[in-house]
Amino acid sequence: MMPSADLVAIPGVTPSAALRDELAGQTVLLAFSRGQDSLAAWLALRDAGADVIPYHLYLVPGLSFVDESLAYYAGWFGLDRPILNLPHPSLYRWLANLVYQPPERAAVIERCGLVVPEYTEINPIVRDYLQLPPATWVCDGVRAADSPNRRMALKSHGPVNRKACTQKVVWDWKVSHVRQAIAAAGVRLPAEYEWFKRSFDGLDRRFLEPIRQHRPADYELILSWFPLADLDLRRAAL
């Protein structure tokens, strides 16, 4: 069930329902963060009749709660393949900038000469890997009501970037619409929503402390990549 009232309105900006109607019958990519907004975008596109191919960007490889949720969504939506799971540019950026790295790792990482990919490079790579036409739309769940900056960006540039072939297909939904769509579909949110009310999105204490409590093996995996990340937790305990 898609929302029909009380949507965000910006004069001159095409409502998201009209965008989704134009995507009916088309194959589209979905930048799927596993968060509630991207999940709502997937549901909205499915209900509009689009053929949705999601892809996900991981911050740390091999986290069990991430892999479990990706497998769940692939099954729930009836995909005939696993969700494509690629490294997030932030992973490269954290490593290249020696975030939470001990001195003995610095020289090794610097010798690797890591190149931090730009976000604009991701979609063409995904299209090429999946052998999709360059003009295949990439959709996301960015919403104007999420922050003043996003509202201003949507007011200035709109929800469609024809040069990059991207669309923000639930841009005018409020969080109540997102939650309504998810509840009506009966699909569950990732486990992290019980821990920190959002999907995993960083290396600070807001995320690491609940992960250490609920998934200690995943916490240790994060520390294997970023050994000094536990300093934030130790600092809070002082």
Q: Is the pLDDT of residue 1 over 60?
A: no
Cα 220 from Cα 37, distance rounded (Å) = 29
225 lies in some domain = no
Indicate the SS3 state at residue 135: coil
Give a yes or no: residue 130 inside a domain.
Answer: yes
pLDDT tens per residue, range 202-216 = 999 999 999 999 999
What are the strands, taking DSSP E only, across the chain? 27-31, 51-58, 84-87, 138-140, 160-161, 166-168
Residue 151 lies in a domain: yes
Strands 138-140 and 160-161: unpaired
pLDDT at position 2 is 65
Question: Is residue 204 in a domain?
Answer: no
Does 124 map to a domain?
Answer: yes
Residue 88: which domain range? 16-190
Residue 4: pLDDT above 90?
Answer: no
pTM (predicted TM-score): 0.94
The number of residues in the chain equals: 238
Is 8 within a domain? no
Q: What is the Cα–Cα distance from 124 to 55, expressed in whole angstroms?
A: 12
**Cβ of 236: how many Cβ atoms within 10 Å?**
9
**Domain count of the fold of the chain:** 1
Please, which pLDDT band fits residue 70 given cuts at 50, 70 and 90?
very high
Place 238 in a pLDDT band, splitting at 50, 70 and 90: low
41 vs 201: CA distance, rounded Å: 19
In a domain, 51, yes or no: yes
182 inside domain: yes
The Cα 204–Cα 201 span in angstroms is 9
Q: What is the mean pLDDT of the chain?
A: 95
CATH code: domain of residue 153: 3.40.50.620
The confidence band for 17, taking pLDDT boundaries of 50, 70 and 90, is: very high
Task: Pick from 4-8, 42-46, 116-120 the range whose average pLDDT is largest.
Answer: 42-46
Give the pLDDT of residue 234. 80
